[in-house]
Amino acid sequence: MYQEFKMPLDLRTQKLAKLVVNYSVFVKPGENVVISGSTEAQDFILALYKEVLLAGAHPILRVNIPGTNEFFFKHANKEQVEKFPEYFNYLVKNSQKYIGILTESNTRELTNCNPKKMTARAKVTHPISEYICNSKPKMHRCSVGFPCQSLAQEADMSLQEYEAFVFGACLQDWKTLGKKMDKIKSRFRKNSQVHLIGEGIDLKMQVHGHLAVADKGEENMPGGEIFMAPVKESLEGWVKFDYPSIRDGKEVTDIFIKFSKGKVIEAKAGKNQDFLKEMLATDENSSYVGELGIGCNPKITKFTNELLFDEKIGGTIHLAFGAAYKENTPEEEQGKRNSAVHWDIVKDMKKAKIIVDNKVLQENGVWKL
C-alpha cells in the first residue's frame, strides 16, 4: 500500500516561529493575532498558529492562494477595484498583533497587469495598511521572511542555500546587534544634517533623527536597519540606484532621481521608466521621500531581489518614496506625510560616505564610531 512520506518540520522553522511570536510581536493571552501568508509558507503558518495558541492568544489565518491577485487585476471591474474591504478592515481593527509572511510563488506574477488598477486598489486599501503599520500600541505588526523556491531563484541560490541565508539572517543575537545599532542611532539628532556623497550619489537632507528607530527584529524579521523620516522639503541633490527594484511584479532598473526642495524633479530608469513615473505621481506625497534607512545586518551581505533582506545589507542606504511612518514623524506633521505608496529602493554605499552634522559616520561601508 502506498503511504505518503512527509518530511519532518525544519527545527529552524519552529525557532523562527517562537522568535516572532514571543519576541517580535510579544503575543499576550487573549489577543487576536492575524497570521497572513501564502501557501508557499504553509509549514511556517502552522508553526506560528501553534505558537500563538500556546501563548494563550487567538490565531486568525489569512491565507492567500497563488494566482488570485493576477486574476483580480486582469479581470476586476471598476466597482470591484474600488470596493473597500470592510471585512478585512473589521478584522484588523479588532486584532492586536499582525504577522505578515513574505513569500511568492512567482515574483513576476503581476508584470502584465494594469498598473493603473494596482495604483487605484492601493489607494482604496491604504487606510488598512496605514493602520497596520502606524497604530502602536493598538496594533503591533511584524513582516517576516521565509524561504521559498521563487525567492531562491531571484537570489541566484538553490533552495537549500537560500534557507541557510534566510534563517541565518533571522536567528541571531538581536540583543548584541541592537546595542550596536543604538550607538549608531544616537549620532542622529533633531534636524540633523545628512550628506550622502560618493559614487552615484550627492544628496543632502535634514532628518528627524531624534525619532529614528533601530529595528532589532521587532518591526521586521530579519531586522537590522535604522530608519528615520527626512524633513519633507529638505532633500537637494541626486542619486543613482545601483540595484534594481521589483514593485508589483515589474523590475525597474538603473533608477536616477533628482530632488529640489524635497520633491522629485527628474526620474529616469533603464527599464519600466513609465511605471516609475506613474508610481511617483500616485498622490501628493508619493514624489517625496518618507524614509531614510541604513542597513546594519551583518548576516546579510548579498543582494537577493527581496527588499525585506536587501534593505538590511551593511554598507547600503535606502530611500522610501511616499509615506513616512508615524513613529518617525513629529506630532505636528502626522497626517501630512500619508501616501498610498511606500517604495523602498536600495543604494550601495561601499564607495561613498554618510556624513552626519559634518562628521563622517560611515565611509566605504565601514562605521566610524
**In the chain, what are the domains?**
11-170 (3.40.1830.10), 174-367 (no CATH)
Q: What is the pLDDT of residue 8?
A: 59
Pairing of strands 256-260, 263-268: antiparallel
Distance CA 343, CA 241 (A): 13
Are 279 and 140 a contacting pair, CB within 8 Å?
no
Q: What is the pLDDT of residue 5?
A: 41
Q: What is the pLDDT of residue 4?
A: 44
Are 131 and 97 a contacting pair, CB within 8 Å?
no
Pairing of strands 201-208, 58-64: unpaired
**Which of the residues in the chain have pLDDT under 70?**
1-9
Q: Which residue has the cell 505578515?
A: 100
- pLDDT digits 0-9 by tens, 123-150: 899 899 989 988 889 999 999 999 999 9
DSSP bridge partners of 142: 99
CA distances from 226 to 112, 178, 220 (A): 35, 10, 12
Q: How many CB atoms lie within 10 A of CB 366?
A: 11
Question: Which of 293-325 are b and which e, b meaning 16 or more Cβ less than 10 Å from the residue's Cβ?
Answer: bbbbbebbeebbbbbbbbbbbbbbbbbbbbbbb
The distance from CA 354 to its chain's CA centroid, rounded to whole angstroms, is 22
Q: What is the pLDDT of residue 353?
A: 96
**Cα–Cα nearest to 315, from 357, 362, 361, 356:** 362
**Cα–Cα nearest to 184, from 33, 327, 10, 366:** 366
Q: What is the pLDDT of residue 115?
A: 80
Output the CA angle 305-88-127, nearest 5 degrees.
70
Query: What's the pTM?
Result: 0.85
Task: Kindly give, in sequence order, each residue whose CB lies less than 8 Å from that of residue 23, ignoring residues fewer than 6 positions away.
Answer: 174, 217, 218
Cell of 232: 519633507
Q: What is the pLDDT of residue 299?
A: 94
- pLDDT digits 0-9 by tens, 149-178: 999 999 999 999 999 999 999 999 999 999
Are 322 and 258 a contacting pair, CB within 8 Å?
no
Distance CA 199, CA 338 (A): 31
Q: What is the pLDDT of residue 340?
A: 85
Does residue 94 sit in helix, strand or coil? coil
